[in-house]
A and B are shown apart, each in its own frame.
Chain A
């Protein structure tokens, strides 16, 4: 079985631009969460989606948005990029809101210049 897949692997954007990151969960998992990890820190929670509905949101500005599709894949969108948005963005899937633990993808490295 494929694990959690994220695309793209790396991305370079200019300040003010918009970016879309994609995630496909493990087959059978209905919950997808997004985390931001800056260098030297632990991941910080951004969003959780379960059954296509937002179930949790971390302390991030409204420039960050996400959605989950009928096939349980998810997109994270960030508008008006700032230099401080440069980070590793991680997607995690679980059966149902953390039941059985979380499986993470390899991440998308976003660099804003």
Chain B
């Protein structure tokens, strides 16, 4: 069974700082990995989708990397802003099926 771990569980940084969120998964036989953002009580907003053949994906100030062999992904946020405050979730497909396994997320607070 696929297991996903996200570290740290919570992170508080001053505005303008660069930061890295980590995601690890136990089964490397995945075909993609997706990073989501969730505001309190809201649904999930997709940030980046990395296919298994890719090593990086970028969108604006966000950069996600994927190392399938080691079962790790990182989400890099440059020049953080208070509006980046949210919970960030990574998700991977389960082995032999197509549903997603999620980590418990990293709760990010950016202090003005």
Contact = CB atoms under 8 A, between A and B. Distances in A.
Contact of B41 (A31, A88, A105): A88
Interface residues of A, number: 28
Interface stretch (B13-21, B61-69, B99-107): B99-107
A101 B54 CA distance: 14
A72 interface: no
A63 to B, nearest CB: 19
Contact of A102 (B34, B103, B104): B34
Interface stretch (A14-22, A38-46, A75-83): A38-46
A86 to B, nearest CB: 13
Interface in A35-91: 35, 40-45, 48, 55-56, 58, 88, 90
A35 B104 CA distance: 14
A57 B95 CA distance: 14
Interface of B: 4, 31-32, 34, 36, 41-46, 49, 89, 91, 93-94, 97-105
Interface of A: 6, 31, 33, 35, 40-45, 48, 55-56, 58, 88, 90, 92, 97-98, 100-107, 109
